[in-house]
Structure 1
């Protein structure tokens, strides 16, 4: 059953990076020289990619974040603006250095990433306009600026706004700080395994994450779908079978689509189905943000599911 096109209001907070991507036949091993077939430069970063994805799907999106007042920072801001994202709360700090990633993608769509996370970016979140949350339908944050994420989640919780944490790889102390203030913690597979290191089974890892305070803990498992734990127990959805061209940004896109769906007021299972469809379709196209489908295309894949 096709869903009417919603237009939720979303805030995404966290990392913005400049991605330089090389396309090669096979990923390099060890030293030496590898010839690239193509080169692409574009914006990246977990929360920034999520913001771009939500905007492409039709949301009204603000990106709140930090970067250096340098060429990379200015380019990131310009690219988000071109995608329709409000960057009025994306601050460029003099004397700081922006995050830049080098990505190598092979012919199968697999990738390796070298990331410089930036330097001298102030942690203090007191400049964030938390009063501007009025009218927001959902917020998302990644763990790269935990002080900002904590401030955003706290303010959103006070207003009854759903919160989403992008649980990529981070120090356990960061997750311990954020999970008690987060409704939906959606981990990457290595992010969850690293956090719940004493548990070998995914379901036990999810139970551990929930025990740290979030209402729902989920993990994206690539071609094996998504699993989550909540008050009703453990749940799973399969992945959509697609021919992957480029998996860059798939997890970020999944999170942006999930925030979109929650902001639209959809139930969790439907939100995960939609997010999985958006991420799968992205993988069939080159580029991170460039591969994000529009809302109608994503819903066509969701509606193809035989319940």
Structure 2
């Protein structure tokens, strides 16, 4: 299977399940708890591995116990972290996540502001067998350099733009950009995501899309804005769903799928994840995704 190099953040997540999202500054009791690895790029890498692809991850970690736990969990899921730098004296990223009965989540995260750039960890060309890069906006310099490696190797570069990039040229460096609905609304000033995507597409030279939860995915196709509906599910936990989507999208493109089929494939993977509590622990296998796509055909 083709490989995907994921570049960006990896975290240790503490996921608390509650009935109602807390709105007051007092003690609250959770009905469930999952301690699980998280982070956009890391969760995308796990999704790639569980879907049958070769997953590599370059992320910046400290030399602390949290970093050890992050790497150990990723190794159990078959993710290659051999290129990920570990910086002495720095703290690895962590997040506290609250998930309510509707599956919505509130995230409080920490990343060490003194973490160095570590750009020498990014290769100038993709490793053998790697056909795509998936990068997030939490390590934009690393993503920009990884997209350059993808272009130098005639590979695919997928940007998870869940927020507007601060680094100029990042969206242009990717071959495929998938925005989060909120990020695209903020960037364009439009509430209607289809119209917002049309605005973004009018000035883009690459493929662009926007994920809009239960309303599905809008994307460019033959000069028009196309739509792929979401799979109907009852959500339990949406944490990591977008990350799974982007990892699956990158793998689908690396396998040679057309954009529409890759969006459908990624949507199925994200839908299954939403039906399971525990963040990326709910990322599905290839057999599960294939079965859902067959049932929905």
- Counterpart-to-counterpart distance in 2, 1:118 and 1:231: 43
1-structure distance, mates of 2:143, 2:119 = 9
Provide the rounded CA distance (Å) in 2 between the counterparts of 1:170 and 1:219.
12
Q: In 1, Cα distance between the equivalents of 2:75 and 2:151?
A: 28
Aligned to 1:109: 103
RMSD (Å), alpha carbons: 1.6
Kept after mapping to 2: 8 A contact 1:17/1:100: yes
Residue 271 of structure 2 is aligned with which of 265, 280, 304? 280
Q: Do residues 23 (structure 1) and 23 (structure 2) align?
A: no
The 1-side partners of 2:121 and 2:13 are apart by 27
1:127 Cα deviation after fit:
3.2
CA contact (8 A) 2:234 2:275 kept: yes
- Count of residues in Structure 1 that have an aligned counterpart in Structure 2: 297
* Counterpart for residue 182 of structure 2: 190
Q: 1:294 and 2:288 equivalent? A: no
What is the SS of the residue equivalent to 1:133? coil
Q: Secondary structure at the match of 1:137?
A: strand
Q: Cα offset for 1:201?
A: 2.8
Matching of residues 80-99 of structure 1 within 5 Å? 80-99=74-93
1:205 alignment partner in structure 2:
196
Decide whether the 8 Å contact of 1:16 with 1:99 is kept in 2: yes
TM-score by length of 2: 0.95
- Cα distance in 1, alignment partners of residues 21 and 127 from structure 2: 43
Matches within 5 A, 1:88-237: 88-171=82-165, 173-174=166-167, 176-196=168-188, 198-237=189-228
Deviations 1:93-135 (A, max 9, x none): 1122221110011122121111112321112412323344343
Rounded Cα–Cα distance in structure 2 between residues aligned with 1:194 and 1:32? 32
Gaps of 5+ in 2: none
Q: 2:18, 2:273 → 1: CA distance?
A: 19
Structure 1 stretch displaced more, 127-136 or 98-107: 127-136
Distance 1:120 1:211, change over 3 A: farther
Structure 1 position 55 matched with structure 2 position 49: yes
3-state SS in 1 of match to 2:120: coil
**8 Å CA contact 1:11, 1:61 repeated in 2:** yes
Deviations 1:239-264 (A, max 9, x none): 11112111111000011111111111
- Equivalent position of 2:262 in the other structure: 271
> Which residue of structure 1 lines up, in the alignment, with residue 251 of structure 2?
260
Q: How far apart, CA to CA, are the structure 1 residues paired with 2:117 and 2:176?
A: 24
| Cα distance in 2 between the residues matched to 1:181 and 1:213 | 11
Q: What secondary structure does 2:59 align onto?
A: strand
CA drift of 1:136 comes to 1.4
How big is the shift at 1:200? 3.6
Q: Secondary structure of the residue that 1:32 maps to in structure 2? A: coil
Q: Which moved more, 1:276-285 or 1:210-219?
A: 210-219
Please name the residue that 1:4 is paired with.
none
Q: Is the 8 A contact 1:142 1:167 kept in 2?
A: yes
TM-score by length of 1: 0.92
* C-alpha distance in structure 2 between counterparts of 1:32 and 1:170, whole Å: 33
**Aligned residue for 1:45?**
39
Displacement of 1:230 in angstroms is: 4.5
